[in-house]
């Protein structure tokens, strides 16, 4: 119909059949950012927020979210994740935080959605500290493995 892989010939949503694809090592990275008030950034840096160790909690939340991606996103294959890494760094120039997430598997399909889910949820965990925070710039930055090859 439209050439989209998750639609059948009649336009109905379907899970893509990957049973004939070879399991290979696949990785994907994603990033995003949160901007906030400078005072909030200092609170997080000093560890004096009401939420405690915000950065560590947010990184853990990102890992946990990546592991649940197939439950959150329709038609997403559940994957045997072999590694998830979420890193949050303070960026004074925003002011705010930059989030990088990497997902890895050995499977028949890629882990782009797991990486982007990890970054998205980690970003959201920082939001309760400052209601003026803005979450944005969430994107897949790279992928490797599979028939379509590496990107970029």
CA 124 – CA 66 distance, rounded (Å): 14
Q: How far apart are CA 91 and CA 62, in angstroms?
A: 19
Q: How far is CA 152 from CA 44, 141, 144, in A?
A: 34, 8, 9
Using CA of residue 60, residue 65, residue 29, residue 91, what is the dihedral sign? negative
Q: Which residues pair with 100 in a beta bridge?
A: 31, 87
Which residues carry out catalysis?
A: 124
Handedness of CA 29, 111, 4, 148 (dihedral sign): positive
């Amino acid at each position: 119909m439209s050439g989209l892989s998750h639609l059948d010939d009649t336009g109905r949503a379907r899970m893509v059949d990957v049973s004939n694809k070879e399991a290979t090592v696949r990785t994907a990275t994603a990033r995003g950012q949160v901007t906030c008030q400078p005072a909030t950034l200092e609170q997080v840096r000093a560890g004096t927020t009401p939420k405690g160790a915000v950065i560590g909690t947010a990184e853990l939340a990102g890992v946990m979210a990546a592991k649940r991606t197939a439950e959150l996103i329709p038609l997403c294959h559940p994957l045997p994740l072999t590694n998830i890494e979420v890193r949050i760094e303070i960026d004074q120039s925003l002011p705010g935080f930059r989030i990088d997430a990497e997902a890895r598997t050995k499977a028949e399909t890629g882990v782009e959605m797991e990486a982007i889910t990890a970054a998205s949820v980690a970003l959201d965990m920082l939001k309760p500290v400052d209601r003026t925070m803005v979450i944005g710039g969430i994107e897949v930055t790279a992928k490797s493995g599979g028939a379509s090859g590496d990107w970029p």
